[in-house]
Each structure stands twice: as structure tokens, then as C-alpha cells.
Structure 1
Amino acid sequence: MLSFEMSAEELLTYQGTNPRPADFDQFWEKSLVELAATEPETEFAEATDFPLPFAKTEHLYFTGTGGYRVHAKVIRPHNAEGPAVLIFHGYGGEQPKWVELLPYAARGFTVAALDVREQVAFRTDSQQANSFSLRNHLVEGLDDGPEGLLYRHVFLDTRRLADIIGALPEVDETRIGTTGWSQGGGLSLVCAALAPGIKSTASVFPFLVDYQRAWELNLEKGPYDEITTWFKKRDPRHLREQEVFTTLGYIDLQHLAPKVQSDVTLYIGLEDQTCPPSTQYAAYNKLGGPKQLRVYPDFGHDDLPGALDEIFQSFSTNL
């Protein structure tokens, strides 16, 4: 274990490498004001492809920043108990299949799964007719400054989803949990930072953290290899290196982590060369609320045995 990383003791005190922009807090305050000024134009449409006798299955559409029409799947039990769970998917993937949402719905929880914009899953009219992009989203918009970063919009989409689900009459907005793996693990923490009412978060090996550290490790594996590719194509002599990492700092989860007040459980595989452990600890060590670790010494970016079951049981008990 830890064959390529710092020691276990160093991980517990590591505070990150990627610079924090001087106006980070103001940037996100301004971004949230922009989101609030964007009419959500919320629409729930019956999901006729997956009817259930005990719940409504629906396609949710809403408008996010930049005028993008965002999609999510929602299951709303007829006898809802108040809690809700927001699920975020991995990088380049799509939200879970309907059947994968059933455990929470059967428990009486409202459950919503976001489709991350531009990641080739459920298509909306906001996408270009022939667009097909699986990668490079990390550096998408980098040349346009922090306001142009694709992930700035995605981060704000998580807040809008939390607002919409929290406002449903059957949902208690103080009993919402967030969860996901990899990109979804990162977005589950982002949502908890930007939507302060989130009660509980289960984040599995989160992506979107400490970009400069991931780049310096030079593991040449996706998704952080997109940064190296960007330098090769845009700045081969690294004349803009400081500017690049400072710009990425606006969407670096470790800088949002102090705003997270939810109860967080973070799952880490110490041999993870996709989302290196040190990057994850950079966020964990800065979390503002109650937190606990689940460490898997011999696992990388893999299925972590017992994690899904434990997350379900934890939400069932604590939400």
C-alpha cells in the first residue's frame, strides 16, 4: 500500500498543493447570485418507461447557468417519509438506471440522480446536435478564465438540484443526503458546500481535488492527465503554469471543503492512481463538519466491498 504516495501520517495532515485564488469566496458568492437570477423553469415529466406501483417516476428538467437545460431522474414514493437522497455519477458516465434507485425509494425516500451536463447521457436541446464528448471536461473553458469553466456550471447544477428537491412538499429540506463515486464523490461534497442544508454526505474516492498535486504525481492516467494534454496543446513551455493552476483553483473541492457542514463519510483506496489519496485527504482535512474515514489499504479506484450497503444503512438511520 502507498506504493506511490506520501506516508499515512503525512496524509492525515496534508493541506493541499493547488493554489487558492485570492477572491475564491467572492467568486462563488457571485456565482450563486447568478444562479439565483437564472429562472429554473422546472418541469417534471412522467417516466412512462419505468412505472412503479408505490411511487412516481419522473424526468426532471431545469435550466442552469448559461441557459443549459439539465436533466435528472426522480422517484417520489407515494408514502414519502421526508428524507431525500441526491446521487451524482462518475466522470463520463450517466446517472444510475431506474432499478438502481429503488432501494432508497423502497425505504420511503425521495431520490434524484443528476445527469451531468455534456457527459453524453440523456440529451437535451441545450446540447449541439452532433456533440459527443467523453473527456477533457476538467479543462473545458480554461482559456476563458474561471467564469468559463464547465465545472463551475456543473457545481451550480448540484445546488439547483438540491433546491428543487428540497422544495418538494413531501421532502424535509433538513433531511437530505448526497452521495456518489469519483466525479460523483466530488459533486456530493460540492453540493454539501453550496447547499448548506445538506445533512449527510457519503463520498467515495472524490475526483475534482488538488489538481496541481495530481499533475505533479505524473501518473499519466485519466482524468487528471487532461492537464498534461492541455499544456502540450496550449502551453508547451508552461509559461502560464501558475495562471492555469490558480484558475483551476476556483473549481478545486479542497477550497470548498471548509463550507461543508454536513456529516461526511469519505471512502478512500490507498492504491488509487486515478484519484490519488493525497488529493482526497486535501479535501477531507479541511472539512468543516463531523467527518469519518473508511480506508481500504489494498484497493485503488475499484469497487470497495461493503461501501454501498453501508451508505444505504447510514442514510436509512441518520436522515
Structure 2
Amino acid sequence: MPAFDLPLEELRRYRPEQPEPDDFDAFWTGTLEEARAVPVGARFAPFEAPLSGVEVFDATFAGYGGHPVKGWLLLPAGGEGPLPAVVKYIGYNGGRGLPHEHLLWPAAGFACLVMDSRGQGSGGSVGDTPDPVGSAPAHPGQMTRGIGDRDGYYYRRLFTDAVRAVEAVRAHPRVDPSRVAVTGGSQGGGITLAVAGLVPGLAAVAVDVPFLCHFPRALRVAGSGPYREIAAYLRAHRDHVDAAFRTLAYFDGAHFAARATAPALFSVALEDTTCPPSTVFAAYNSYRGADKAIEVYPFNDHEGGGPFQTLRQLEWLPARCAGPATAGVAVTGAGRAH
């Protein structure tokens, strides 16, 4: 389809006023402190897979509420530690899938932890992690589950799981905790931004066509995809508009980006009606780290750069994760960098 959003020269300057909750940092600090009251307890059980180039482990760790979260850990076969690592987050409705779907980063010499997405995993790739928390009436999908209350919103649990995934891989004896990167596309990109704003000491952040950014504009211009779930919910619950936007302000990728300092590589597609380019640039232009770049794909929709962006990441990320192994990296709560 033709470009539908702002012209590229305007997108590169796009910095909308996005008021954030006064207690944004306190909310996330408290959320993570509550989660850390339960030890992460990461377990990595050897998994028999017909793959000769990698070692595969069935991973389990404690996420939000101490709930068990599944994942895959893949290590280069026969490699010595400590290794740099990539934590990979999955797109909307996908799950951790099967180990052979995640061979890229082990082939490049990285440990790779693939986090399952609780309550998802029935669209595109299978999942194995239930979400034991219910919610008030919601539109089908995840976007409106608990949307009337920040404490019960689905993405509070998923973002907490994602932070704990970094803590889990940092605890592995063959991983260098100072050389951990995070990556994902679409929903996985939105999760990546949240983790970038919540976890200090990351080596790099790779964010592709991110979802969960600049909700007020996304709901006005997105023509397809999960943002429409919120619109459908609010068409029915006409009296919940203000409450919904109050909740969403705690989960906006642009607010997390303003707290993130790790080197970052973004991608955006100018014909993307699922994650409109203005919402991606709102997060990118807010990103606090000085070492940042964005790859622009003018004629692509939500598939974005695909293998071309993967190649760009393979060229970019190893340099950010290079360097000698160091002692453990402390993981603390949220907080805007000053």
C-alpha cells in the first residue's frame, strides 16, 4: 500500500508530547522488587534435539508472581564459556516454538535464551507457559486483559517475565553476564524496549518494528493488528476510555526508551499498518542512549527488513558484545537515567 503515515523527514523529528505517570518509576521498581522476592531459580534441563551444532536445554525460571516461565536455551556445541548471550522475545500470539527455529544466534557464537510468552503460543509458533491470572471481561486476545487496572494488566506480567529472563541467563555458568543483549520484533520489540528501560548493564538492544509504543497515536492510525483489539473493546466499553489510557501509559515503549542507555539498533517499515512508523519513531527519538541507529524500509509492511535486517544485526551486534568476561552484573529496579 502507499505510505500512509507522516513523511520520513517529519518522522525523524517526531517527538510528541507523551505525559507519563508521576509514579512510573515507583510502579516498576515495586513490581520488580515483588517479583524478586521469589528466587529466579533458573533450571536448564538437557533436551534431546536432532541438532549437531548446538546444545539445547529446556529452560524454566520464576517470572511474575513466581509463576514458572518456559524457554529454550541454545548454546554453540562444544563451546567454552563464558559466552555472550542474546535473550529473544517473541511476536504477538507466538510462543517459544521448537528449538530448531532459533539457530541463528548460536550459529553466530552466542548463547540464546528464547522466552516463552505466557498465555500465548497458538499463532505462528507454539507455547508452553500458561498465564494463571484471570481478568475482567476483555476482547479476545491479550491487549485488553486487565486493561482497567495497571496492577492487573497482562503486560505487567509479561514485562516482568522478560526482566527475569535476563536474570536467568545471566546466572548460567557459561554466560558472561556483562555481555547480554536483548532482541525481538513486533510484540518482541516492545518487550525488548521495556527490558532496555528496566535492566541496567545490557550490552546491546535490537528492536524490530516494535509494538506497544505511543498508544494514543497507534489507536488512531493502525489499520490492522492487535491495537485494533483495544479499539474494539472501547467501542463496547465506551465509559472505560480514560481508565484504559491511564493503564497503557505504564506500558508505553516510548517511556521505557527514555530510560534506556544500551547501544540500540531499531528497524521500521514505512508501509506498516500494524505498528505505524510514527509510533516506532516516537520510541526511537525518545531513546536515551547515544549509540543508536534505525534502519528504514520504505516499501515494506510489518515484515520489515526480514533477512536484510537480520544480516544488519549480525554485523552490528557482535561488536557491542565483544570484550573480556567480567564478574557478575548487578540487576536493580527501574529508574530514569539522569
Tell me if both proteins adopt one fold, taking TM over 0.5 as the criterion.
yes
Partners of 1:275 and 1:44 lie apart in 2 by 35
User: What runs of 5+ residues in structure 1 fail to find an aligned partner?
Assistant: none
Residues 80 and 106 from structure 1, CA distance in 2 versus in 1: closer, same or farther, beyond 3 angstroms? farther
Q: What is the number of equivalent residue pairs in this alignment?
A: 309
How far apart are 1:25 and its partner, in Å? 1.2
| Alignment-mate amino acid for residue 228 of structure 2 | D
1:28-64 superposed Cα distances (whole Å, 9 cap, x missing partner) = 111111121123232222212x154454311111121
The correspondence of residues 1-319 of structure 1 with structure 2, limited to 5 A, is 3-16=3-16, 19-48=19-48, 50-53=49-52, 55-77=54-76, 78-80=78-80, 82-95=83-96, 97-120=98-121, 121-124=126-129, 135-143=140-148, 145-217=149-221, 219-235=222-238, 239-289=239-289, 290-304=291-305, 305-319=307-321
- Aligned to 1:173, the other structure's residue is in SS state strand
Measure how far apart 1:224 and its partner are: 0.4
3-state SS of paired residue (1:33): helix
1:142 aligned counterpart, secondary structure? coil
SS in 2 for 1:242: helix
Provide the aligned C-alpha RMSD in A.
2.3
Gaps of 5+ in 2: 322-338
Distance in 2, matches of 1:296 and 1:211, equals: 22
Q: Shift in Å at residue 118 of structure 1?
A: 0.5
Alpha carbons of 1:80 and 1:223: their partners in 2 closer, same or farther (altered >3 Å)? farther
Percent sequence identity is 33
Q: Distance in 2 between matches of 1:98 and 1:313?
A: 23
Contact 1:80 1:108 in 2 (8 A): no
Deviations 1:189-244 (A, max 9, x none): 22222211111111110001111111122x44221001111112322xxx442332
SS of residue matched to 1:209:
coil
Q: State how far apart, in whole Å, the 2-side matches of 1:134 and 1:317 are.
A: 43
Paired with 1:171 and 1:147, the residues of 2 have a C-alpha distance of: 33
Query: Alpha carbons of 1:4 and 1:125: their partners in 2 closer, same or farther (altered >3 Å)?
Result: closer
Whether contact under 8 Å (1:18, 1:213) holds in the other structure is no
For residues 312 and 134 of structure 1, the distance between their equivalents in structure 2, rounded to whole angstroms, comes to 38
Q: Is the 8 A contact 1:92 1:134 kept in 2?
A: no
